[in-house]
Amino acid sequence: MSAGQIDHEKLTMAQALNRALHDAMVADDSVLMFGEDVGALGGVFRVTDGLTAQFGDTRCFDTPLAESGIVGMAVGMAMNGMRPVVEMQFDAFGYPAFEQIVSHVAKMRNRTRGRVHLPMVIRVPFGGGIGGVEHHCDSSEAYYAHTPGLHVVTPATPSDAYTLLRAAIASDDPVVFMEPKKLYWSKEEVALGTDGPGIGTAVVRREGTDATLIAYGPTVPVALEAADVAAQEGRSLQVVDLRSIVPFDDETVCAAVRSTGRAVVVAESAGFASVASEIVARVTQRCFHSLAAPIGRVTGFDIPFPPPKLEHFQLPGVDRVLDAVDDLQWEDQ
């Protein structure tokens, strides 16, 4: 690819992530990828497919099955000149690494007064919607978002998956990169360039004038579909995709909500003490005088993620989103 030219390819999100890893590894020898089954198998979702074959097993390699060891080793490698990317395989399998993430990944820069920084990415396939069994469908983003020192991003489109992962790898701060599992197979034309939205910028996915749906990761397509249906019913819904949970783009989100005066947050995780709660609180505080109704929330229930046959009750769907929009105290009702 010559300078100034950007390739476009139709890719699934998993393929876009794979290309981002590939291109980052080509661009920078210090970028490494490791974790469980990421080598010969190419990852259980094939996100690391072909990387070991192309870059060798010192650049993309399998490790022993121990998540704290994986993240802890990545800390040491990041301290010593590398840019490691590690995979946690499934959301709930990342919990053994929690101490490493909270006590070291997040704090190293601060506790060394900025002298040691950790340019590392922790990839976490997350969320439900794929008929997964227990421990395979958690939405764990709030745990990480609550921890100062981490960036937490989640793409909702293959294009964002590519640019955000490139940005995460290039970042000098640790990034928890939450990959919505159920969108791995979503497909679109992807621009394979690094010029894109940086970490920390939300985007208005669909313009609308009556109310704003605020979503991230797996619920963005749900919000867009709800907006389609609402349009047929004569209601114009705007959709904001956060892309980045930390840093949070107050500016874009608040401008959107002020423009419509009504909002519903749509998120898959359990609602209590969640990212959705935080969004409602901060948007209410900043936009109170522009709001015609309390901000609504459509989230998962406060239960362990249910089994495949019942998961559709847990996942925010179009009907629930539209019901929540209906509850926004419309003057004509």
Partner 1 sequence: MTSEDVLRLLPTDDPIRLIDADGSRVDGSGGDRYELPSDADLLHAYERLVVARRLNDQANALVRQGRLAVYPSSHGQEACQVGAAHVLQKGDWLFPTYRDTVAAMERGVDPVDVLTLLKGDWHSGYDPYETQVAPATTPLATQLPHAVGVAHAAQLRGESTVVMALTGDGGTSEGDFHEALNFAAVFKAPVVFFIQNNEYAISVPLARQSAARSLAHKGIGYGVPGRRVDGNDVAAVLAVLGDAVERARRGEGPQLVEAHTYRMQAHTNADDATRYRLDTEVASWVDRDPLTRLEKHLRGRGLLTDETHEQATAAADAMAQHVRDGLNRDIEPDARELFAHVYAEPTPQLREQAAQVAEEASREVAGR
Cα angle: 69, vertex 73, 79; to 5 degrees: 150
Structure tokens, 250: 């107050």
57 binds partner 1 per the rule CB under 8 A = no
* Cβ distance to partner 1 smaller for residue 154 or 171: 171
* Cβ distance to partner 1 smaller for residue 103 or 329: 103
Catalytic-labelled residue, pool 22, 104, 136, 151: 136
Name the one residue in this structure whose structure tokens are 């949070």. Answer: 248
* Cβ distance to partner 1 smaller for residue 200 or 308: 200
Distance CA 61, CA 183 (A): 25
* Cβ distance to partner 1 smaller for residue 45 or 248: 248
Q: Are 101 and 86 in contact (CB under 8 A)?
A: no
In our burial notation (b when 16+ CB lie closer than 10 A, e otherwise), range 157-181 reads bbbbbbbbbbbbbbbebbbbbbbbb
- Binding segment for partner 1 (CB under 8 A), chosen from 208-216, 243-251, 255-263, 310-318, is 243-251
* Cβ distance to partner 1 smaller for residue 113 or 289: 113
How many residues interact with partner 1 (rule CB under 8 A)?
46
Task: Tell me whether residue 136 is one of the annotated catalytic residues.
Answer: yes
Distance CA 259, CA 279 (A): 17
Q: Which of residues 158-187 bind partner 1 (CB under 8 A)?
A: 171-173
Distance CA 268, CA 327 (A): 20
Classify residue 219 by burial, with Cβ atoms within 10 Å: 0-12, 13-18, 19+: buried
- Binding segment for partner 1 (CB under 8 A), chosen from 17-25, 62-70, 152-160, 206-214, is 62-70
* Cβ distance to partner 1 smaller for residue 76 or 294: 76
- Binding segment for partner 1 (CB under 8 A), chosen from 35-43, 148-156, 214-222, 263-271, is 148-156
63 binds partner 1 per the rule CB under 8 A = yes
SS3 81: coil
7 binds partner 1 per the rule CB under 8 A = no
248 binds partner 1 per the rule CB under 8 A = yes
* Cα–Cα separations (whole angstroms), residue 213 to 48, 89, 121: 33, 30, 29
Among positions 26, 28, 40, 247, the unique one binding partner 1 when judged by CB under 8 A:
247
112 binds partner 1 per the rule CB under 8 A = yes
Amino acid at 208: G
Least Cβ distance, residue 70 to partner 1 (angstroms): 8
Least Cβ distance, residue 230 to partner 1 (angstroms): 31
Q: Are 239 and 215 in contact (CB under 8 A)?
A: yes
Q: Which of 90, 97, 94, 91 is nearest to 45 (CA)?
A: 90
Least Cβ distance, residue 247 to partner 1 (angstroms): 4
Amino acid at 218: P
255 binds partner 1 per the rule CB under 8 A = no
- Binding segment for partner 1 (CB under 8 A), chosen from 16-24, 144-152, 226-234, 300-308, is 144-152
Q: Which of 271, 256, 252, 285 is nearest to 314 (CA)?
A: 271
Determine the length of the chain.
Answer: 333
Binding-site string for partner 1 from residue 72 to residue 111, where x marks contact by CB under 8 A and - marks none: xxxxxxxxxxx-x-----------x--xx--xx---xxxx
Q: Are 268 and 139 in contact (CB under 8 A)?
A: yes
Q: For residue 237, report the phi and psi dihedrals to the nearest 5 degrees.
A: -105, 135
- Binding segment for partner 1 (CB under 8 A), chosen from 69-77, 201-209, 232-240, 266-274, is 69-77
- Would you name the residues annotated as active-site residues? 136
Residues making contact with partner 1 (CB under 8 A)? 58, 63-64, 66, 68-69, 71-82, 84, 96, 99-100, 103-104, 108-117, 148-149, 151, 171-173, 200, 246-248, 250-251
